Structure 1
């Protein structure tokens, strides 16, 4: 093997700058995906049939089609329909948030249904409005139960964020391919990016475990 890591040393700062892009993308996608997931979860447990049908149909569509197709539709097809260009990072955030919401909504729905019904009955007997009961009593308990699953979804988003390189976003993988095209070296920049992703996943995993322990202690 003829490995030449010394030749990519000058490009390391350029590659490392992609960390900020990757983290920005992951944080925004997770945040908006979580918010939309909560709304969809409430739709699915709603007694209003149109809302329930919408939530079920939404999840079915986004879980039943490839993520890369969803990214391509938003980045390439949306400008054709709406006559405007969309930033690659923004297109990626929208696609990942919409996709992630479908999975998160199922997780949250399961967490809500896992909360003891006695909690709801006690709140209703005290005259607590339904909306306040869900937001202040049921949902916080549900989140504690599903925290590991939410952490796994965030980790999956971080790793899958590399897909935005296919539409030109200057993330870690995109920068590695640019370096490869300039140096004609592929193993070295790609293994460097792989190591960076691995470290970020380890940090995120450790943070999730710490938060989980803190929430268990607070119980």
Structure 2
């Protein structure tokens, strides 16, 4: 569990670092001119903008985390995959296909729910792109 936590902590830091660097330098200077400490600058000015920029990558990292949690079975921790192996052993490996099919559906549902939550946050973000319906097109003049 520690290894998985360190791996994903490093991965998430590499998602948020470029988002922090993508915030306009003028925002950093504006926070400095207001006399904000580094903590205030992160919480009030730069942090919220960086979160909106890094949200898609952060969502992908959450889905990777869901996928990688199945790996903890190999170190003896009880998770969904370990429970499935216990069920198959109880039934003498009779229902392997059905058990793995149920697991695939379960992981797909977990990833879909995570994707829908992240997508909802992305749509509420001020950095979201405008919808195609609101963009007006100008007809080309005929010759």
TM-score by length of 2: 0.82
**What corresponds to 1:164 in structure 2?**
72
- Gaps of at least 5 residues in structure 2 are 129-143
- Gaps of at least 5 residues in structure 1 are 1-91
Larger radius of gyration: 2
**What corresponds to 2:132 in structure 1?**
none
**What corresponds to 2:25 in structure 1?**
117
1:190 aligns to 2:100 (yes or no) = yes
- What is the CA–CA distance in structure 1 between the aligned matches of 2:51 and 2:123, rounded to whole Å? 14
Q: Return structure 1 stretches of 4+ with deviation > 6 angstroms.
A: none
- What is the CA–CA distance in structure 1 between the aligned matches of 2:115 and 2:41, rounded to whole Å? 31
Instruction: Tell me the number of residue pairs that the alignment of Structure 1 and Structure 2 aligns.
Output: 126
Contact 2:73 2:79 survives alignment (8 Å): yes
- What is the CA–CA distance in structure 1 between the aligned matches of 2:38 and 2:74, rounded to whole Å? 44
**What corresponds to 1:175 in structure 2?**
83
- What is the CA–CA distance in structure 2 between the aligned matches of 1:135 and 1:207, rounded to whole Å? 23
Give the stretch that moved more between structures: 123-132 or 159-168: 123-132
Q: Which has the higher contact order (CA 8 A, sep 6+)?
A: 1
**What corresponds to 2:111 in structure 1?**
201
Query: What is the root-mean-square deviation of aligned Cα atoms in Å?
Result: 1.6
**What corresponds to 1:148 in structure 2?**
56
